[in-house]
Amino acid sequence: MLIAAERINSSRKRVAQAIEAQDGEFIRNEARIQTEAGADYIDVNAGAFVGNELECLKWVVEMVQAATKLPLSIDSPDPAVIEGVLPLLKRPPMINSITLEPARLNGILPLAAAHGAKVIGLCQSEEIMAESTDDKVRLAGQLVESVTRAGVPLNNLYIDPLVYPLATHPQAAMAAMEAIERIMKEYAGVHTICGLTNISYGLPERRLINRTFLAAAISRGLDAVILDPTDAPLFAALKAGLAVAARDDYSMDYIAAFRAGRLG
């Protein structure tokens, strides 16, 4: 299970303030605590700084790389921002994200191919954001085709089926989970990934919905996730979900998490 750790995102007020004030220690600490909590990639986002995103992101990248050996997930829709950050990176990153929109596809995929980067592909085109299972799987197929054609190995593609809020789309969780199952079956070698916060928009006790959805999605084959690994109940649900889904042989990881004091 690949974990992209989401805390260093400029849509969080505290992170935006730290970027503005060039508070490097805050950013380095965010990188450290997520690394210790079990992240595989550290996501970095400076999208709130319109017009100045590249400069801000470059600074964040430097701070994070000073604090952790983990690779980064570069969170921007803008090919120019991604291109500008790539030369700074010490390890091949994950690019978060592409859609089927030609500008993003054509701008980003050659960069991903050249740098051996993993790519998150959203089930979204110029015309639609996929809502139904069928649309999600159809757009996933188009992503597979585009990515392969651009020379990015299928194994580096992480398809995000798009998760709608249960509050407004009662079928949202089932549509995403069925898509995950079908995508993993129909395109062997590809990965699936999603964020967990959309699902609970507008509902009380959002974190309870988030972690319940995570465990359920894991049971359908989800093999990567964007989350905050320092969220203790969420991390515990992740470990339990993997054990229940027979993806943790003899529950060894689950037991190890218990011994590390991370389940209760």
Partner 1 sequence: MSDILQQIRDAIIRRKRGEIQGLVETAVKEGIDPNGIIDNGLIAAMDVVGQQFSDSEIFVPEMLVSALTMKMGLDVVKPLLKSDNARPRGTIMMATVKGDMHDIGKNIVIMMLEGAGFQVVDLGVDLTVEKLMEQIESNKPDLVGLSALLTTTMPEMRRAVQILHERGLNEKVKVMVGGAPVSASFAEEIGADGYGADAAEAVEVARRLISDL
Nearest-5° Cα angle at 57, 54 to 58: 85
Three-state DSSP at 38 gives: coil
Residue 145 neighbours by CB under 8 Å, 6+ apart: none
Looking at the Cβ atoms of 163 and 243, the one nearer to partner 1 is 163
Name the minimum Å distance from CB 48 to partner 1.
5
Name the minimum Å distance from CB 157 to partner 1.
21
Name the minimum Å distance from CB 101 to partner 1.
10
Looking at the Cβ atoms of 34 and 124, the one nearer to partner 1 is 124
Looking at the Cβ atoms of 158 and 164, the one nearer to partner 1 is 164
Residues that bind partner 1 (CB under 8 A): 11, 47-48, 50, 77, 124, 126, 129, 164-168, 170, 201-204
Rounded Cα distance between 2 and 19, Å, is 27
Name the minimum Å distance from CB 99 to partner 1.
9
Looking at the Cβ atoms of 82 and 243, the one nearer to partner 1 is 82
Number of Cα atoms under 13 Å in the Cβ half of residue 193: 28
- Terminal Cα distance for the chain, rounded: 21
DSSP state of 71: -
Q: Which residues pair with 160 in a beta bridge?
A: 122
